[in-house]
Amino acid sequence: MYAGGSFISGDGIVDAVLRFAAANANANRAAEIHVPALDVDGQRETITVVVGPASQLMAETVIAPAQLDDDEFVRRIDGLTEELVGMSGVDPSPDLTIP
């Protein structure tokens, strides 16, 4: 798949992926990550996402039959994000709330 598509995952997982994608862009890098997700039957699966400087990701709230959590994945991605922030010196998630 070149671009587009969607998947369902947990709030913590999605937040970690978005922060990682922003940090990757700030560091002018790309990475392939394997993200825990739910298939159409609500069963756990792993999807592959490539994030880099030109990635355009978004998240929206959906009603799912269950919340998917994966603390180990979130810890690993958060650790990689911190390494990238150290390299670029740019916070990937500043408070830019628009009223």
Res. 5: pLDDT tops 90: no
Domain boundaries in the chain?
11-88
Res. 95: pLDDT tops 70: no
Express each pLDDT in 23-76 by its tens digit: 888 888 999 999 999 988 888 999 999 998 888 888 888 887 778 999 999 999
Grade residue 79 by pLDDT with cuts at 50, 70 and 90.
very high
The 3-state secondary structure of the chain, one letter per residue: CCCCCCCECCHHHHHHHHHHHHHHHHCCCCEEEEEEEECCCCCEEEEEEEECCCCCCCCCCCCCCCCCCCHHHHHHHHHHHHHHHHHHCCCCCCCCCCC
Grade residue 93 by pLDDT with cuts at 50, 70 and 90.
low
